[in-house]
Amino acid sequence: MGKQTWHYSNVNVISYSSVVGEMESKGPLASDFDERYEDQYMGQDSWEKAERFLLERSIDIAIKKANLAKTDIDVFLAGDLLNQNISAGFAARTLSQPYLGIYGACSTSMEGLSLASAIVEGGFGKYALAATCSHNATAERQYRYPTEYGGQKPVTAQCTVTGAGSIIVGATPTDIAVTYSTIGKIQDLGVKNPFDMGSAMAPAAAHTIATHLRDTGRSPDDYDLIMTGDLASVGHPIAKELLKQEGIALSNQFLDSGLLIYDLKNQEAFAGGSGCGCCATVTYGHVLKKMAAGKLNKVLIVATGALLSPVSYMQGESIPCIAHAVAIERKVNP
Amino acid sequence: MGKQTWHYSNVNVISYSSVVGEMESKGPLASDFDERYEDQYMGQDSWEKAERFLLERSIDIAIKKANLAKTDIDVFLAGDLLNQNISAGFAARTLSQPYLGIYGACSTSMEGLSLASAIVEGGFGKYALAATCSHNATAERQYRYPTEYGGQKPVTAQCTVTGAGSIIVGATPTDIAVTYSTIGKIQDLGVKNPFDMGSAMAPAAAHTIATHLRDTGRSPDDYDLIMTGDLASVGHPIAKELLKQEGIALSNQFLDSGLLIYDLKNQEAFAGGSGCGCCATVTYGHVLKKMAAGKLNKVLIVATGALLSPVSYMQGESIPCIAHAVAIERKVNP
């Protein structure tokens, strides 16, 4: 086992949840999400509070589905895209359980699941909750132009998902286990365009997938699904090509959550979805529901993050990118 | 053992480092820091690059002191105060080892040390590096007024430390062990003033200290030093009083890194130091050097974080605060 890959022998998926906004509610995965909100404010008086509301809803649903109480959660790991992680911090105040803030941009979902799994495997807690969220309007305001300005975007841009996803892992046996994490190293090939983050992040996804397969001795075909999140229509083919150049052939099982969440022919999502909430809602909505239904047995989720800021961009820096992969497996009766 | 407290049986302090800026170089702990820089830019062309330079220097020094190579680091955990954690993300690009970004505001140092210790104890890595940093000029620009404006501050304000600290923990036995972490829950008593974060954070420090003592069955006098970081002159007496009300009497062993790093009579630091770099440089400079010299045997470091953002403040929110405590002990020969 290479040093980037962590193995878990007793980490189980206890429950999971996903809640989304309007555009995601009109996309092809709509029926997979636990709650759908058509109002961008979700009844709150600011977009930031709406984002927090989504995160808190997903946390509550995951805890309820697990038949647990809030006090059963031994540790809560969360992060988001807002400066100083305020969605996560305020949700942690509401949850009122031990909290560790994380930041991995759009890789946050699998960073959180990796650390939650390590905490459970290490015996530091019985139940660990990992969650993340994003909101289109808070991201637009913070990272790009004031929303009212209606700035135009190139087709390589991605559309920040409005949504939140949570997962609870624990030592209690269930039908689905978390088996491996491969922790990413930063890849930065010099891309500086924040409107083409798929291209920037593709090498990180390819590097982590190749490392995971080498470390575990697995081949791509050992997985029913290898899903990146979120490279979208520009970055996903680049990652596939980079892996091909390393002799790793990916077929139809290689998908991307940014491509799954919207109907790119009929929805204005540019190259596809992005944001912490994209990989989280697709994994903790769509993918795990398919696993529970026996339609997927072994999946590798590869969450990619672009670790830039508006300041680093304006100072002429390129975009450091990272990807963390987590293997989730259905226990098949012998 | 209560659920907030993690016990480690084989986590050792391999090495540590601290580098600081001009004001810290003129303070009472100057001789404890590995490197001191009198130029606020550290030879870089922006304050952000200067902050990153400090973080990278502290990482390099810690690795060198440990007689390790960069490739020996199995996982790097880091966070800072800049939006999207760019100091940590760019330093992770330079280090080029598996990276997990964390965010706990000024509690980041002990959050990182806790997760690094859990990773080593859980057998996921042989060497884990935890680091953090802050820079007075980047923090002033991002959180407050443009520096050139010269905005006035009340005496309750704290002075962001320019500095970075790193620690490497591992399974290889050394004279100093990390034995416990107590992971904080958010405390928010309604303080909304970002110029009085000591008052806001004091309840979080008191709550985590009380929980740690209860979970471990220890009394304050089991520790030679219980150091908060950073409550400063306003918050530190409040934490002491809150603990007294709970029947926990703290004496002269109760100190604060924000009060130690500056000479408040002769340096313009308002209520004292703050920022991720304060607790980190004082712990990984001053405190661990005293332990190595046999002058301290058992310490509890309680790093406190105010999880607000300029947006949450402007939207009228109060300040969610957290504190994580880590016990570090010198192995005394029987």
Partners of residue B51 in chain A, C-beta under 8 Å: none
B307 vs A75: CB contact, 8 Å cut-off?
no
- Output the pLDDT for position B151: 84
> Which chain A residues have a beta carbon less than 8 Å from that of B186?
89, 92-93, 96, 99
Query: How much of chain B exceeds pLDDT 90, in percent?
Result: 94
CA distance A8 to chain B (A): 10
Burial of A230 (0-12, 13-18, 19+ CB in 10 A): buried
For residue A310, list chain B residues with Cβ-Cβ distance below 8 A: 83
Give every CB contact of residue B34 below 8 A, 6+ residues apart in sequence.
B17, B18, B19, B58, B61, B285
Q: Cα(A156)–Cα(B328) distance, rounded to whole angstroms? A: 50
Distance CA B147, CA B101 (A): 28
Q: What are phi and psi for residue B85, nearest 5 degrees?
A: 50, 40
Q: Do A102 and B102 count as a contact with CB atoms less than 8 A apart?
A: yes
Q: Provide the pLDDT for residue A333.
A: 65
In three-state form (DSSP H/G/I as H, E/B as E, the rest C), the secondary structure along B100-161 is: EEECCHHHHHHHHHHHHHHHHHCCCCCEEEEEEEECHHHHHHHHCCCHHHCCCCCCCCEEEC
Q: How far is B188 from chain A (nearest CA, A)?
A: 8
Burial class (CB in 10 A: 0-12, 13-18, 19+), A221: exposed
Which pLDDT score is estimated for B333?
Answer: 66
Beta carbons of B188 and A99 less than 8 Å apart:
no
Distance of CA A79 to the CA centre of its chain: 11
Closest CA to B220 of B69, B129, B325: B325
CB neighbour list of residue A294: distance below 8 Å, 6 or more residues apart: A330
Beta carbons of A320 and B93 less than 8 Å apart? yes
- Residue A111 distance to chain B (closest CA, Å): 7
Interface test mutation site (partner B, options A100, A113, A140, A169, max chain B beta carbons within 10 A): A100
CB B36 within 8 A of CB B25: yes
Rounded to two decimals, the pTM is 0.98
Residues of chain A with C-beta less than 8 angstroms from the C-beta of B99: 183-186, 322
Residues on chain B touching A124 (C-beta within 8 angstroms): 6, 118, 122
Give the chain B residue nearest A307 (alpha carbons): B89
The mean per-residue pLDDT over the stretch B299-323 comes to: 96
| Residues of chain A with confidence (pLDDT) below 50 | none
What does the pLDDT read at residue B287? Answer: 98
Please report where in the chains the tokens 């989280």 appear, as a residue: A280
CA distances from B254 to A332, B246, B265, B317 (A): 55, 16, 20, 31
Contact A183 B121 (CB under 8 A): no
pLDDT in tens, B272-286: 999 999 999 999 999
- Does residue B66 surpass a pLDDT of 90? yes
pLDDT higher than threshold 70 for residue B246: yes
Dump pLDDT digits (tens) for A136-159.
999 999 998 888 888 889 999 999
Q: Given CA atoms B265, B270, B276, B279 in this order, what sign does their dihedral have?
A: positive
pLDDT at position A90, please? 98
Quick check: B260 and B92 in contact, CB under 8 A?
Answer: no
Other CB atoms within 10 Å distance of the CB of residue B292: 15
Q: Distance between CA A238 and CA B22 in Å, rounded?
A: 46
User: Could you give all domains of chain A from N- to C-terminal order, each with its CATH number?
Assistant: 5-170 (3.40.47.40), 176-330 (3.40.47.40)
Mean pLDDT estimate for chain B? 96
Do A99 and B322 lie within an 8 Å CB cutoff? yes
Residue with tokens 């790119």: A264
Asked whether the beta carbons of B240 and B250 are under 8 A apart, the reply is: yes
For chain B, the distance separating the N- and C-terminal CA atoms, rounded to the nearest angstrom, is: 26
Q: d(Cα A149, Cα A153) in Å, to the nearest integer?
A: 12
Q: Give me the torsion for CA of A278, A282, A283, A289, rounded to 10°.
A: 160
Digit-coded pLDDT (tens) for B93-104: 999 999 999 999
Length of chain B measured in residues: 334
Cβ–Cβ < 8 Å for B145, B151? yes
Q: How far A28 CA lies from chain B's nearest CA (Å)?
A: 31
Chain B nearest-CA residue for A186: B93
How far B205 CA lies from chain A's nearest CA (Å)? 13
Nearest chain A residue (CA) to B74: A3
Cα distances from B235 to residues B119, B232, B271, B273, in angstroms, run: 32, 6, 9, 12
Beta-sheet pairing, B5-7 with B176-182: antiparallel
CA–CA distance, B190 with B317 (Å, rounded to integer): 8
Residue A219 CA to residue B111 CA, distance in Å, equals: 36
In a mutagenesis test of the A interface, which of B48, B74, B103, B197 is the best target, namely the one with the most A β-carbons within 10 Å? B103
User: Mind telling me how many Å the CA of B145 is from chain A's nearest CA?
Assistant: 16
Helix (H, G, I), strand (E, B) or coil at B244: helix
Q: Which residues, in sequence order, are CB contacts of A273 under 8 Å at separation 6+?
A: A24, A158, A159, A160, A161, A230, A232, A257, A258, A259, A261, A262
Nearest to A311 among B75, B86, B96 (CB): B86
Q: Provide the sign of the torsion angle of the four alpha carbons A52, A54, A58, A60, taken in this order.
A: positive
- Residues in chain B with CB shorter than 8 Å from the CB of A119 are 118, 122
CA-CA distance, B76 to A5, in Å (whole number)?
Answer: 14
List the single best residue of B44, B124, B188, B189 to mutate versus A (max A Cβ within 10 A). Answer: B124
Cβ–Cβ below 8 Å for A308 and B84: yes
Structure tokens that stand for A66 in this block: 């697990």
Minimum-distance CB partner of A121 among B122, B142, B317: B122
> What is the distance between the alpha carbons of residues B156 and B88, in angstroms, rounded to a whole number?
29
Least confident of B133-147, B165-179, B296-310: B133-147
Please determine, for residue B109, whether its predicted confidence score (pLDDT) is greater than 70.
Answer: yes
